């Protein structure tokens, strides 16, 4: 089961380290770092059920590209 409760001992330190990881990178490089980080952490978790639950929760509320109501109204 996916733990969605706060579980990072020093969340501010983690956020600072995450921001530092992206410092000086282009948007494309940052996207690559994020993708690599996701794969490394997914490997660490290792449980496909937990990973699927995390992907579902991460995707919740995100409208697929091109189907945004504002974009449809303009088009």
Res. 71: pLDDT tops 90: no
Query: What global pTM score does this model have?
Result: 0.79
Q: Report the candidate in 44, 62, 61, 42 with the shortest Cα–Cα distance to residue 52.
A: 42
Please give the pLDDT value at position 26: 98
Mind listing the pLDDT tens digit for each residue in 18-37? 999 999 999 999 999 999 99
The rounded distance, in Å, linking the Cα atoms of 45 and 51 is 8
Q: Would you kindly state where each structural domain of the chain is located, as residue ranges?
A: 11-74
Task: Note the pLDDT of residue 69.
Answer: 65
Choose among 18, 11, 3: nearest CA to 54.
3
């Amino acid at each position: 089961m996916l733990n969605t409760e706060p579980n990072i001992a020093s969340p501010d330190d983690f956020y600072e380290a995450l921001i530092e990881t992206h410092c000086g990178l282009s948007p494309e490089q940052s996207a690559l770092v994020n993708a690599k980080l996701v794969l490394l952490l997914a490997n660490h978790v290792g449980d496909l059920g937990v990973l699927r639950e995390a992907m579902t929760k991460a995707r919740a509320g995100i409208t697929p590209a091109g189907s945004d109501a504002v974009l449809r109204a303009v088009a």
